[in-house]
Amino acid sequence: MVNFEAMADVLPRARGAVTDQISNCRTGVSLVSGFSGSDGDRPACVRLRRDRQDACPTLAEPPFAERVRVMSRHLDLMVEIFGEELGCRMFRKVAPWYSKRFGPAAEFNRNVVRISTRAQFAEVLENYLRWRRQFLDENGELQPKFQPPPLVASFMLEPDVALRQHIPVPKGPVEVW
């Protein structure tokens, strides 16, 4: 992997392009700067589309236990700030967002939106963990068919417009368009 910070120290004029390389790492588009001419003052910039795995190291997804810990901590902070009744009521909206990466979570979602105390949350979580066991393999991980798809930033996907084969045109006479 190229050490962009070291490169920026060696080529001070390229510092902006190197910074762009680092900041655009997430998008998979990098700005490569080269110097043309004998004076080296005129940068020739080229945008390159790079494969995300080559452009940036990807972080491993946190394990299920870590997700549950963060979700529980979120509830604790909401209860600490807003009180138990209001904090739990507000947490009802947030909890299903956490469960999107749990794999099968219908049981959890159905019950967590009814909690009004921390004790109820603990009971819902305990029941969910028991229900979730049917989807686990012998190592305690979700079976492959139940694992959620890998996270991909929405801007990395091709827009639906680019995938269309035909331009949609209304049917019928122009008068009813």
Region 131-136 average pLDDT = 94
Q: Which of 80, 82, 87, 107 is nearest to 96 (CA)?
A: 107
Contact 11, 21 (CB under 8 A): no
pLDDT band at 80 (very low <50, low <70, confident <90, very high): very high
What average pLDDT does the segment 42-66 reach? Answer: 58
Helix (H, G, I), strand (E, B) or coil at 111: helix
In the chain, the domains with their CATH numbers are 4-55 (no CATH), 64-146 (1.10.1200)
What are 10-38's pLDDT values in tens digits?
444 444 444 444 444 444 444 444 444 44
Residues paired with 33 in a beta bridge: 45
**pTM for this prediction:** 0.58
Q: For residue 156, with 0-12 CB atoms within 10 Å meaning exposed, 13-18 middle and 19 or more buried, which class applies?
A: exposed
The percent of residues above 90 in pLDDT, for the chain, comes to: 47
User: What's the mean pLDDT when you consider all of the chain?
Assistant: 75
For residue 174, pLDDT over 60 is answered with: yes
Q: What is the pLDDT of residue 53?
A: 44
Q: Which residue has the higher pLDDT, 48 or 60?
A: 60
Q: What is residue 57's predicted lDDT score, i.e. its pLDDT?
A: 54
CA dihedral 23, 25, 27, 31 (to 10 degrees): 80
Q: What is the dihedral of CA 105, 128, 97, 25, to 10 degrees?
A: -80
What pLDDT is attached to residue 61? 84
pLDDT score of 39: 44
Q: Which long-range contacts (CB under 8 A, 24 or more apart) does 42-49 make?
A: 43/13, 43/14, 43/17, 45/17
User: What DSSP line would sit under 52-97, residue for residue?
Assistant: HHHHSPPPPPPPHHHHHHHHHHHHHHHHHHH-HHHHHHHHHHHHHH
